Amino acid sequence: MRLDTSLEQIKGVGPVASQQFAAAGLHTVGDLITFLPFRHEDYSHVALIDSLEPGKATIKGVVEKVATRQVKRGMRVTTATIADSSGKVQAVWFNQPYRQAQLETHEEFLFSGEFEFRYNRYQLTNSSVEKPKELQAHTGRVLPVYHQIKGLKNQLLRKILREVYPIFEFLPETLPRELVEREGLVSYGEALRAMHFPSGGDDIARARERLAFEELFGLLLASAFNKNEQTKLKSEAINFDAQYIKSVVESLPFKLTNAQRRAAWDIFQDLERDTPMNRLVQGDVGSGKTVVASLAACLARYRGYQSAIMAPTEILASQHAETLAKLLTPFNISVGLLSSRVKGLARKELYAQIETGSVDVVVGTHALIQESVRFKRLGLAVIDEQHRFGVAQRQLLLDKAKFMPHLLALTATPIPRSLALTLYGELDSSIINERPAGRKEIISKIWSPISAKNLYEQVDREFNAGRQGYVICPLIDDNPDNDKKSVEAEYKRLKSTIFTHRSIGLLHGKMKPEEKQEVMEQFSRGEITLLVSTTVVEVGVDVPNATVMIIENADHFGLSQLHQLRGRVGRGVHQSYCYFVLSDSKKPSERLKELERSNDGFYLAEVDLRLRGPGEIYGRMQHGALNLKVATLHDAELIARAQKAAKWFMESTHNVLDYNQLHAAVAKYQRITTLN
Ligand code: ADP
Ligand code: MG
């Protein structure tokens, strides 16, 4: 028997079963032994019948009598009396008529099942039954539980695994031995054996550690290889000029924070290289990432290069264009906005300006790199609020420039370090963990829906002082199947009752882009005092005079989304407030309490990861595609170990091609993690 022996050659695998295995992607012995149980049930303790306690139990006893009867249509019950040296017990199986033939009287068997009180007596229900053997498959041990393969019972899987048991001893090590030893890991074969046939103690934990380590190691090695490959791409160096940048920084309307300086410095150093920058700047909402990016654009322009700045939505793109124009025009840098609003002749003209290089900085949505836009000399691409650049996007960029432009990504969704390493390992990262001076902490309060009146009075006082605010609702229209608040209804209600004396605006995603734009501009200019909106205002919107936000049905939103929303206020010099209004009078959730306590995006990201797990947060696709069987992306300690090991491997003389399984894993992860 070998790893590539096909399953149909194994005793017990008939043509039907082998088809079912194949349908689940299991063709060979190797496939089978790497199909891991997702949990284990402990039936290892063989109890005496008179000491049985309710719950999972194993007994070893002789069958005294057995009978099967039809209780009603479609329901057959098999009952047996089992005896051991301490006493007797009744065992019952529902709709398993084959038990009748299996349970020879006077024979001894092991039974593992649920001991429970049912029909007025204690009984052992639906137990697995097996003759005592050297290697038990179904009873008297810690039982592996496998995800159900269509048509194949766990029972059959365990039986077949027992057939292939000898292979575990001969499995070759898949990682460098040196690494396994140094990390104190169990061997590959031992780990797989323990997953399928645990023999007690901590061997399952040790097996999981070993297999999880191997997965993370492969993932981090893939990142390291990706990073290596990126350094083979050529970019044009954009050399730093201290004098010039100093003059720009000095003429800014504010003093840069230290964190902004550090991030800018990281970027300037990257730009000096003739390999492309590939940097992610993480900074909480309002930490001033845009300014940092525009310093880079300034330097690029100074050295004769154009920059492209991409935002996820049209609203944001036009806001960015405005901000950048304000910042950059004094330095004689021209900023163009490529939005869906620019049409016909104007669009043609803009294209021409980009192509001849008379526009220095072009702002737009991602369409900017997808459309037939031609740059004269693109040196820097900035992507706002998108966590990674995919291979496809890189290719598009390369098509636009002779050399690979330097890439800068900005995100206001901080990623916990452990995740950043595994998911974005090939990106360098800078963190802006400091607020601009003079910014006050936003005061956050969880609010009960019954004291709403009181809340509106407080909000109105802000409006009296000249400030503006937001009301956020989850729905656009009222929906009979959903009792959450809608912006349409709330807008009408507030306009006609509570805030009749105020100018109220409405914003949601079903409005035409031009309408949205118009409303946002009115709000920016202060012509709208209160904006009733869905989460379309989520990212990046910057109206420093807005100081209050009411979030209706706050419990309905996710933690990071609420934090993002809250970041729309607290962007100016005034004290700001955020009210999380609950849907009902139930106790507020843990995440709302954390939000009330903390304003720190990095801390909240860790909390979110703890409360929800990485799959939920970073999308099923990503996590699912990685197809990690054992490792979890929040095991920070193991990730750190694997990271160190990957670094060691890259610097060592080991060749990944000498490790088949590792090589295959790395190749797979490389494909996935560089795809968008
Ligand atoms: P982010 O994109 O990180 O959310 P922005 O770059 O949009 O933040 O900056 C938020 C606001 O703070 C903008 O109005 C910006 O002009 C201002 N700002 C940025 N840096 C500073 C600073 N160092 N001091 C004062 N205000 C700043
Ligand atoms: Mg921003």
Give me the pLDDT at residue 195, please: 96
Instruction: Say if CB 445 and CB 526 are below 8 A apart.
Output: no
Would residue 369 count as lying in a domain? yes
The verdict on 381 and 475 lying in the same domain is no
pLDDT reported for residue 657: 93
Given 411, 431, 452, which residue is the final one in a domain?
A: 411
Beta bridge partners of 483: none
Q: In this structure, are 402 and 464 located in the same domain?
A: no
Judge if 450 and 575 occupy the same domain: yes
Instruction: Tell me, yes or no, whether 500 lies in a domain.
Output: yes
Say if residue 448 is in the same domain as residue 531. yes
Cβ of 436 less than 6 Å from ligand 1: yes
Q: How far apart are CA 495 and CA 363, in angstroms?
A: 36
| Token code pair at residue 67 | 């009978």
pLDDT in tens, 210-221: 999 999 999 899
Per-residue pLDDT tens for 525-584? 999 999 999 988 755 567 999 999 999 999 999 888 899 899 899 888 899 999 999 998
CA distance 261 to 177: 45
* Final residue before a domain boundary, out of 106, 125, 140: 140
Let me know whether 247 and 391 are in one domain: yes
Tell me whether residue 449 is in a domain. Answer: yes
CA separation for the pair 531, 508 (Å, rounded): 10
* Tens-place pLDDT, residues 58-105: 999 999 999 999 988 889 999 999 999 999 999 999 999 899 999 999
Minimum mean pLDDT range among 159-168, 204-213, 446-455, 486-495: 446-455
**Structural contact between residues 360 and 378, judged by C-beta atoms closer than 8 angstroms:** no
Ligand number nearest CA of 437 is 1
Say whether both 390 and 497 belong to one domain.
Answer: no
Q: How confident is the model at residue 373 (pLDDT cuts 50, 70, 90)?
A: confident
Q: Is residue 21 part of a domain?
A: no
**pLDDT the model gives residue 229:** 81
Are 385 and 253 found together in one domain?
A: yes
Domain CATH number, residue 115: 2.40.50.140
Closest ligand to the CA of 567: 1
Q: Answer whether residue 526 is part of any domain.
A: yes
Helix (H, G, I), strand (E, B) or coil at 643: helix
Task: Specify the DSSP element, H or E, that contains 356.
Answer: helix 344-356
Q: What is the pLDDT of residues 259-270, one digit of tens each?
A: 999 999 999 999
If pLDDT is split at 50, 70 and 90, which confidence band does 366 have?
Answer: confident
Give 432 Cα–ligand 2 centroid separation in angstroms.
12
Residue where one domain finishes, among candidates 558, 573, 598: 598
Ligand 2 mean position, distance from CA 615 (Å): 25
- Rounded to two decimals, the pTM is 0.71
φ and ψ of 534, to 5 deg: -85, -170
Residue 350 and residue 474 share a domain: no
Q: Does residue 389 sit in the same domain as residue 320?
A: yes
Assigned domain for 22 exists: no
pLDDT at 621 (0 to 100): 40
Using the atom order of ligand 1, give the atom closest to the CA of residue 257: 23
Name beta bridge partners: 82: 63, 89
* Residues 533 and 393 occupy one common structural domain: no
CB of 188 closer than 8 Å to CB of 172? yes
Distance 272 CA to ligand 1 centre (A): 26
Which sign does the torsion angle of CA 57, 58, 64, 70 carry? Answer: positive
- Residue 674 confidence (pLDDT) above 70: no
Residues 347 and 448 in one domain: no
Domain count, the chain: 3
Which residue out of 291, 328, 563 has the highest number of ligand 1 atoms within 8 Å of its CB and is therefore the one to mutate? Answer: 291
Is 523 within 8 Å of 543 (Cβ atoms)? yes
610 within some domain:
no
Tell me which residue range forms the domain holding 357: 242-272+288-411
Residue 223 has pLDDT above 80, yes or no: yes
Residues 180/608, Cβ–Cβ less than 8 Å = no
Closest-CA residue, ligand 1 atom 17, reads 288
Ligand 1 atom having least distance to the Cα of 256: 23
**Per-residue pLDDT at 406 exceeds 50:** yes
Pairwise CA distance, residues 385 & 415, whole Å = 12
Is residue 449 domain-shared with residue 512, that is, in the same domain? yes
* 3-state DSSP of 143-200: EEECCCECCECHHHHHHHHHHCHHHHHHCCCCCCHHHHHHCCCCCHHHHHHHHHCCCC
Rounded to whole angstroms, the Cα distance separating 407 from 388 reads 10
* CATH code for position 371: 3.40.50.300
> Is residue 357 situated within a structural domain?
yes
Ligand 1, residues 290, 310, 576, 602: which to mutate, most atoms within 8 A of Cβ?
290
* Distance between Cα 289 and ligand 2 center (Å): 6
